[in-house]
Structure 1
Amino acid sequence: MLRVLIIDDSQVALDLLTAILEHESDIEVVGTARDGVEGVELVERLRPDVVSMDVQMPRMDGFAATRAIMSTHPTPIVIVSGSMESPNVEKSILSLRAGALAVIGKPGAPTSPRFDRSRRTLVDTLRTMADVKVVRIRPAPLRPAAPPKVDVDHRIPGVIAIAASTGGPVALDQLLSALPDDFPAPILLVQHISTGFLDGFVAWLNDTIALKAVTAEHGQRIRPGVVYVGPEGRHLCLGSKGRLTLTDDPPLGGFRPAASALFESTGRVYGAEGVACIMSGMGCDGVDGLRAVRQAGGLVLAQSKETCVVYGMPRAAAEAGLVDHSESPQRMAARLLKLTNVNP
């Protein structure tokens, strides 16, 4: 049985989530809590396999509760938010940085036409995340460590394409926060994230990194020092050097935007001037696109196993023989600074 703890300040939500989960023959709701303080205590006492965590709660909100759990009794946590409005979304994204594995929307009323889909998303996400091996996350130091030294044998100044999924926000924070606001190359980013959370994710990036983050637009001319984030429901690609293309092509491997679409266009358009970075995430999205980068002479960087929350996408790329360097996000940042001739 999959043992789930639900933390939510709404009794209506607790009742609904409990009913949804206990309808599944392999899931047991081992406890419920009405705020973060009680939730942290129950995690310690009940040791659930996975936690469903609300964001806005009295006494201790979902972000603070996630930090407490991940620093004392690491447990897979899924943020289940009932609001797509700021500051709820930004707090949900912060919870990912604190160690939560995924953010999804809270199922609506059973009479809603989207109820079956949202119910299935909840159940599938909790099942999947319960299998992730999580580690203790201690509070970050006040001063970030200096980027490590790396040796590079060539410079590739054109464009940086990055893709991430589960565990991505933590890795992206470590990578992008080490780059200065005058970084001399544009950055294109695909982050798998639940519908409704993209604007909050972009806002969180702008609060966290020196670079400017924007939601990508069709036909947009890309500029150095800007992170262009793939929008919901469209593939982020390069149509020509210096221009973005958003497409409604079918999902690749179930994803739109997909890492493979971004990487394929990076290799096709920028050739040896393209850098592809594949970060923490489940599955194998990105592998097909990375072949185009390698074949064109571009550089492929993958997040190392020991620094990934989920070593899925980087593993698939490494096993396919497509990775030039497997390294931590901090070392990846140092390499990008070297490649673009920037002194950290």
Structure 2
Amino acid sequence: MLLVSIYGSDPEIEVVGEACDGVEAVAMCRALRPDVVSMDIQMPNLDGIAATRQIMVERATPIVIVSSLDSTDIRFSMHALNAGALMVVAKPGGPGSATYELDSRELLSTVKAMAQVKLVRRWASIPPYQQRAPTESAIAPTDRASMLLGIAASTGGPNAIRKVLAGLPPDFDTPILIVQHIAAGFSEGFATWLHDTTSRPVTLARHGELVERGACYIAPDDRHLGIGAAGKLSLSAAAPIEGFRPSASFLFSSLAASNGAMAIGVILTGMGSDGLTGLRELKERGGLVIAQDEATCDVFGMPGAALRAGLAPAGTPLEHIADRVVAALAHRKPP
């Protein structure tokens, strides 16, 4: 099998089991207790979505979805992320494929990184969000229509972003710019999945497009996303920032420069510290920073970096981030 051969080529990876279908995958995960699971989507008896969901209930284990770039598989992969998988990567072609070496390296690095993630299932209820009186970290009153909301995430981000968007009221009219670290080829499917599961207008960002009220724009593959002159989207092929293109820091820096105090930056679950530099600039320009709390993060890297830097007073549970955004905007009145 191709994937077993690729994993076997790395001395840091030991393949402890190979399942023929989803039922066997669940049983092997229960018996072998692996550090990470590489999951296909199309399997007999129990597909990858149902197998992922069952594994996350029985024994939470990092799951990497390995998918073809077929539109159906991409759609199913998004549902597997919703079921609890952490990442999705493209399935490498055969050794004769032009991208075989690159795809194999990306697969190996992703699997090894996800093996380090320690997941804990959280079933306890979270107390309702208590709206606080405005503090110095709250943005000053201004016109809501000129506001922009930026959201960025990495590991575990697709489902977190979905929950934030789904939690916003139907009449939420602030444009939203989103950066999600995701494997090449999956951005369009991610945008379609968010559109279908949140009932919000979500599309891939296009360079020079004028932002519309209430619309959500996803950074496309291999391009930084920002806001340019006259409220138009800007896509950039500038060098990756800390290894990322699109970069969360690029997005937040752009919002700081264009909107300053009229911007909100939300940083969600993800490895590393992407977004920290841009959020610092946004904070300095008077913008509001909201960081997901550790208890509801799959990986606390990106929000943790922002909180340790003092860019937000405290972490916010994922279930209450939409409320925080709406509450911040509720204090704003046209001048």
Is the pair's TM-score, using the shorter chain for normalization, greater than 0.5? yes
Name the TM-score, length of structure 1 as normaliser. Answer: 0.89
Task: Give how far 1:119 is off.
Answer: 1.2
User: One-letter code of the match for 1:57?
Assistant: M
For the pair 1:25 / 2:11, whether they are aligned, the reply is yes
Check whether the contact 1:76–1:134 (CA below 8 A) recurs between aligned residues: yes
**What residue number does 2:161 align with?**
172
Identify if the C-alpha distance between structure 1 residues 241 and 304 changes in structure 2 by more than 3 Å, giving closer, same or farther: farther
1:147, distance to aligned residue in structure 2 (A): 6.6
1:31-46 alignment, distance < 5 Å: 31-46=17-32
In the alignment, structure 1 segments of 5+ residues that lack a partner are 1-14
Distance in 2, Cα, partners of 1:48 & 1:112: 30
Q: Matched residues in 2 for 1:80 and 1:324: separation?
A: 38
Partner residue in 2 for 1:53: 39
Matched residues in 1 for 2:224 and 2:10: separation?
34
Matched, 1:266 2:252: no
Residue range with higher mean Cα deviation, 210-219 or 304-313: 210-219
Partner of 1:151: 132
**In structure 2, what is the Cα distance between the partners aligned to 1:46 and 1:288?**
41
How far off its partner does 1:115 sit? 1.2
Percent of counterpart pairs with the same letter? 46
Aligned to 2:75: 90
> How far apart, CA to CA, are the structure 2 residues paired with 1:89 and 1:325?
36
Cα offset, 1:318, TM superposition: 1.5
**1:91-144 deviation line (CA, Å, top 9, x unaligned):** 111111211111001111112221111111111111110010112377xx9xxx
TM-score normalized with structure 2 length: 0.92
Pick from 41, 62, 66 the counterpart of residue 80 of structure 1.
66
The question of whether the paired residues in 2 share the 8 Å contact of 1:70 and 1:137 is answered with no
Q: Distance in 2 between matches of 1:69 and 1:102?
A: 15
In structure 2, what is the equivalent of residue 183 of structure 1? 172
Name the counterpart of 2:102: 117
* Comparing 58-67 and 179-188, the one that deviates more: 179-188
Output the CA distance in 2 between the equivalents of 1:61 and 1:163: 30
Q: Which of 311-320 and 185-194 deviates more? A: 311-320
Q: Pick one of 240, 248, 264 that aligns with 1:275.
A: 264
Structure 2 residue matching 1:335: 3-state secondary structure:
helix
Structure 2: runs of 5+ lacking an equivalent: none
Q: 1:152 to 1:201 in 2, by over 3 A?
A: farther
Match for 1:70 among 56, 65, 73? 56
Is the 1:299–1:324 contact (alpha carbons within 8 Å) kept by the matching residues of 2? no
Counterparts in 2 of 1:315 and 1:229: CA distance versus 1, 3 Å: same
Q: Match of 1:16?
A: 2
Task: Give the secondary structure class of the aligned counterpart of 2:206.
Answer: coil
Structure 1 CA distance for aligned equivalents of residues 241 and 116 of structure 2? 24
Structure ranking higher in strand proportion: 1
Task: Please say if residues 147 and 334 of structure 1, whose CA atoms lie closer than 8 Å, have aligned partners that are also in contact.
Answer: no
- Once the two structures are TM-superposed, the CA of residue 152 in structure 1 deviates from its matched residue by 4.6
- Alpha-carbon offset, residue 85 of structure 1: 2.3
**Aligned equivalent of 1:106, options 91, 95, 98:** 91
Separation in 2, partners of 1:212, 1:280: 23
CA distance in 2, matches of 1:148, 1:313: 22
1:162-198 per-residue CA deviation (whole Å, 9 max, x = no partner) reads: 1000011121122111112320211110001001111
Q: Are residues 275 and 324 of structure 1, via their aligned partners in 2, closer, same or farther at CA, if it must alter by over 3 Å?
A: farther
Q: Once structures 1 and 2 are overlaid, which stretch shifts more, 284-293 or 175-184? A: 175-184
How far apart, in 2, do the equivalents of 1:276 and 1:330 lie?
17
